[in-house]
Amino acid sequence: MLAEMRVSAPAKINLNLKVLPKRADGFHVIESIFQTVRLFDDLLICIEDGKNTCTVECHDMELPKQNTLSAAYKAFCLHTGFDRSVRVRLTKRIPSGGGLGGGSSDAAYFIKALSQLANVRLSSELSNKIAGEVGSDVFFFLCCAHPGCALVTGRGEIVKPIKPRQDMHILLVFPGVHSSTGEAYSLVDKAASEGEFADCPSFEELETVYNGPIVDWTFANSFTPVIARRYPEIGAAIAEVRKAGAVFSDMSGSGSAVFGIFASAGEADIAFHALISKGLKCVAA
């Protein structure tokens, strides 16, 4: 058995995100395109003496005692019989509460590492069982390596990988506010009850739109209008990214991170400096 492993867990953006009503199990149905981006958390996973303990060290932010890594460890052990103690040293670069899937990606890459460290082969069925006990975005990250792109529906458990584009020059912008996922879903439900819906392509059209000219994309995010009303900083950030020359821009997930896609690396670099000069936190991804 290997003693330790290092992995890098990528962030994701949602190029399209349509939120549909809740299922009987309480989860909302989504129709989305997930795309990994070049922003990573790093994990060092070490097998230790002892049993049934997962210790997570993170000096970049304070993690709650019950987090996605502890949940992933618990689910992995339950379904595989693994019982060795593990220590995880986590270096966070993906902001929490940004809609970038950092916690889910960390959990998925931790599960992948554990399967190699424990020499346990994870079938698709077993991977889905574990993911379902950790978080809805975990399915995507278990299914798709970086660079990865997929059509995602159900609560997130139905993942169809598609070929990722190589011509997207992406900037991520952080407006400085934190958007709660629970609050975001409540706001979308309220908007839907009042007849407000995002104008997204049908799920069947998503791949065709994705492969077409970016300037012609008709993607949308159900969360953007309601969250931008709640946090005007997000709407302002989207406007600034578009003003800086993005051919497509929106909020990722339930927020609060904003992304912009530019036609070339040079245009993205010019926009990066323009956005930084306006006091916006920005990274190339």
DSSP 144-161: -PSS-EEEEETTTTEEEE
The predicted-structure confidence for 138-193, as pLDDT tens digits, reads as follows 999 999 999 999 999 999 999 999 999 999 999 999 999 998 999 999 999 999 99
Q: What pLDDT is recorded for position 64?
A: 84
Q: What is the pTM of this model?
A: 0.96
Q: What pLDDT is recorded for position 62?
A: 82
Reply yes or no on domain 4-162 having CATH 3.90.1310.10: no
100 is in an annotated binding site: yes
Which residues of the chain are in CATH 3.30.230.10 domains?
A: 4-162
Q: Determine the length of the chain.
A: 285
Query: Tokens standing for 221?
Result: 């995010």
Q: What pLDDT is recorded for position 65?
A: 83
Q: What pLDDT is recorded for position 158?
A: 98
> Cα dist. 52→35, 76, 114, 165, 175 in Å?
34, 11, 13, 42, 40
Strand-pair partners of 22: 28
Q: What pLDDT is recorded for position 77?
A: 98
50 is in an annotated binding site: no
264 is in an annotated binding site: no
154 dihedral zone (left: phi>0; alpha: psi -120 to 50; beta): left
Q: Active-site residue among 41, 106, 137, 250?
A: 137
Which residues of the chain are in CATH 3.30.70.890 domains?
A: 169-284
105 is in an annotated binding site: yes
Helix (H, G, I), strand (E, B) or coil at 64: coil
| Annotation says 42 is catalytic | no
**Are 258 and 14 spatial neighbours (Cβ–Cβ below 8 Å)?**
no
**Are 222 and 17 spatial neighbours (Cβ–Cβ below 8 Å)?**
yes
182 is in an annotated binding site: no
Q: Active-site residue among 12, 18, 92, 112?
A: 12
Q: What pLDDT is recorded for position 238?
A: 99
Report the C-alpha gap between 68 and 70 in whole angstroms.
6
List the chain residues with pLDDT less than 70.
Answer: 1
| Annotation says 137 is catalytic | yes
Q: In the CATH scheme, what architecture does the domain 169-284 have?
A: 2-Layer Sandwich (3.30)
Q: What pLDDT is recorded for position 61?
A: 82
104 is in an annotated binding site: yes
Q: What pLDDT is recorded for position 1?
A: 61
